[in-house]
């Protein structure tokens, strides 16, 4: 009790120095928390995908299409449970600024392959019966105020329809909620059949296949057998797990994650030096007092504990304020950035990381003072006529 009063008062002896150091701790942890919030968004959208689903696209690029009957050929392979397909629509609403993630999908089974999109049974059945029907995410429904039954015109920046227009008309048939943590409730799906018959060219083709493999099947051998099947055709394929696929798409983000980590490491290293230096200075200024306390019978361990708690207070206060400020800011910007980069958030594990970092930094920063305390020879320190 008294011990902590002493720690508290000692901490604030040099108020300016305390607060300057504390602010640098604050800034570092603020930065760390903001970046880790962004990092969460990057890693979560990557690791949420089912690793037992495969994506097959044209070997050269995603913009080259595959024949629609590749679906049946893949479905016939051993180890494959079911196959669906999809094509990228490149949609927007009214204005090219309102970009939407619109995909034409095989309406028979696409959503059995992707159970993470939760659609009420009736609505799903209704959509499957509605040729022009769209399934929209809850976020889209909220944003545009669209309800089931609404007629919605969407435009494509890629696909012209048979009437020579880029405007396509749709009917809202179902609304889904994603059960994934990154809450990707901002997509739109419609029937591939409507797309294929409606478009002016490139009939009977799809952009990619999605394949679910059987639980006991070997992922790598299924991948190989799919690609081998088309190796010598006009459209050779490249198949990967969905995870790898999304990772590749997000490659520039992944690199950003590495940059973030490097920045964080650099900041922490600097921070450690600053705090360490402060603590060393502190203990040097107090060598007389430390020697006196030793002469009174206080052990080195008590003095070391006291300097540890001083470091802990300094770091804890700075880290606490810094991370909480970031946490508050992140709840604001995560709403703003939800379309662009969903999933910006601070997890409980981030706060645990902060806690661990603070404690180990405190231990590190009291290591040199601890040595200095251990080395104090009372008679030498107090003997002089200081």
Partner 1 sequence: MKNNNDIILKDINKSYQKGDNTVVVLDHFNLTINSGEFVALMGPSGLGKSTLLHLMGGLDQPTSGEMVIGAQRIDNLKEAQFTKWRAENIGFVFQSHHLLPVLSAQGNVELPLALTPLNKKQRQEHASYALELVGMSDRSKHYPKELSGGQEQRVAIARAIVSDPNILLCDEPTGNLDRKTANEILAILAQLNRDFGKTIVMVTHDNKAAEYATRVINLESYMLEQNKCTVGEN
Query: Residues in the site for ligand ADP, rule: CB under 6 A?
Result: 380, 383
Among ligand ADP, partner 1, none, residue 295 binds (CB under 5-8 Å by kind): partner 1
CB of 320 to partner 1, least distance (A): 23
Q: Considering only residues 179, 197, 255, 298, which one is a binding residue for partner 1 as defined by CB under 8 A?
A: 298
Binding part of the chain for partner 1, among 22-30, 166-174, 267-275, 371-379 by CB under 8 A, reads 371-379
Q: Which is nearer to ligand ADP, 232 or 375 (CB)?
A: 375
- 336: exposed, middle or buried (C-beta count within 10 Å: 0-12, 13-18, 19+)? exposed
Q: Which is nearer to partner 1, 121 or 385 (CB)?
A: 385
Residue 348 in contact with partner 1, rule: CB under 8 A: no
Q: Cα–Cα distance between 289 and 380 in angstroms, integer? A: 13
CB of 361 to ligand ADP, least distance (A): 35
φ, ψ at 215 (rounded to 5°): -55, -40
Binding part of the chain for partner 1, among 5-13, 98-106, 137-145, 221-229 by CB under 8 A, reads 5-13
Q: Which is nearer to ligand ADP, 289 or 380 (CB)?
A: 380
Tokens at 94, concatenated: 């009214």
Please list every residue from 63 through 122 that binds partner 1, using CB under 8 A: none
* C-beta neighbour count of 179 within 10 angstroms: 10
Q: Considering only residues 299, 331, 349, 360, which one is a binding residue for partner 1 as defined by CB under 8 A?
A: 299
Among ligand ADP, partner 1, none, residue 9 binds (CB under 5-8 Å by kind): partner 1
CB-based closest residue to ligand ADP: 380
State the number of binding residues for partner 1 (CB under 8 A).
25
Site string for partner 1, 9-28 (x = CB under 8 A): xx--x---------------
CB of 375 to partner 1, least distance (A): 13
Binding part of the chain for partner 1, among 58-66, 160-168, 310-318, 375-383 by CB under 8 A, reads 375-383
Q: Considering only residues 55, 294, 323, 362, which one is a binding residue for partner 1 as defined by CB under 8 A?
A: 294
Q: Which is nearer to ligand ADP, 352 or 377 (CB)?
A: 377
Q: Cα–Cα distance between 176 and 172 in angstroms, integer? A: 11
Q: Which is nearer to ligand ADP, 329 or 378 (CB)?
A: 378
The string over 280-310, giving b where at least 16 C-beta atoms fall within 10 Å of a residue's C-beta and e elsewhere, is: bebbeebbeebbebbeeeeeeeebbebbbbb
Binding part of the chain for partner 1, among 89-97, 253-261, 360-368, 373-381 by CB under 8 A, reads 373-381
Q: Considering only residues 145, 149, 164, 297, which one is a binding residue for partner 1 as defined by CB under 8 A?
A: 297
Residue 232 in contact with partner 1, rule: CB under 8 A: no
Residue pair 303/373 in contact by the 8 Å Cβ criterion = yes
Q: Which is nearer to partner 1, 215 or 296 (CB)?
A: 296
Binding stretches for partner 1 (CB under 8 A):
1-3, 6, 9-10, 13, 288-289, 291-299, 377-379, 382-383, 385-386
């Amino acid at each position: 009790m008294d011990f902590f009063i002493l720690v508290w008062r000692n901490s604030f002896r040099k108020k300016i120095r305390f607060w300057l150091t504390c602010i640098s701790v604050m800034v570092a942890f603020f930065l760390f928390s903001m970046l880790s919030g962004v990092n969460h968004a990057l890693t979560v959208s990557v690791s949420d995908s089912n690793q037992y689903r495969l994506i097959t696209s044209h070997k050269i690029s995603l913009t080259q299409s595959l024949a629609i009957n590749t679906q049946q050929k893949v479905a016939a392979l051993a180890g494959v449970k079911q196959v669906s397909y999809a094509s990228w629509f490149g949609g927007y609403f009214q204005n090219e600024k309102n970009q939407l993630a619109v995909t034409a999908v095989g309406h028979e089974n696409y959503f059995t392959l992707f159970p993470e999109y939760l659609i009420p049974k009736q609505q799903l059945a209704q959509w499957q019966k509605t040729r022009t029907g769209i399934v929209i995410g809850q976020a889209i429904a909220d944003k545009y105020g669209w309800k089931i039954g609404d007629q919605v015109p969407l435009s494509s920046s890629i696909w012209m329809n048979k009437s020579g227009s880029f405007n396509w008309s749709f009917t809202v048939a179902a609304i889904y909620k994603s059960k994934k943590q990154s809450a990707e409730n901002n997509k739109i799906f419609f029937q591939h059949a409507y797309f294929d018959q409606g478009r002016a060219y490139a009939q009977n083709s799809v952009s990619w296949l999605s394949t679910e493999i059987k639980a006991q099947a070997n992922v790598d051998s299924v991948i190989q057998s799919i690609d081998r099947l088309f190796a010598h055709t006009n459209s050779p394929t490249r198949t990967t797990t969905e995870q790898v696929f999304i990772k590749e798409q997000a490659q520039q983000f992944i690199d950003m994650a590495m940059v973030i980590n490097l920045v964080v490491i650099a900041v922490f290293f600097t921070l450690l030096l600053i705090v360490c230096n402060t603590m060393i200075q502190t203990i040097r200024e107090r060598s007389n007092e430390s020697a006196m306390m030793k002469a009174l019978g206080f052990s080195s361990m008590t003095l070391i504990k006291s300097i540890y708690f001083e470091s802990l207070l300094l770091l804890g206060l700075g880290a606490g304020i810094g991370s909480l400020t970031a946490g508050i800011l992140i709840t604001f910007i995560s709403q703003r950035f939800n379309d662009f980069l969903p999933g910006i958030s601070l997890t409980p594990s981030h706060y645990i990381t902060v806690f661990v970092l603070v404690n180990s930094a405190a231990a590190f920063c009291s290591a040199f003072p601890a040595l200095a305390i251990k080395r104090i020879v009372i008679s030498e320190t107090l003997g002089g006529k200081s």
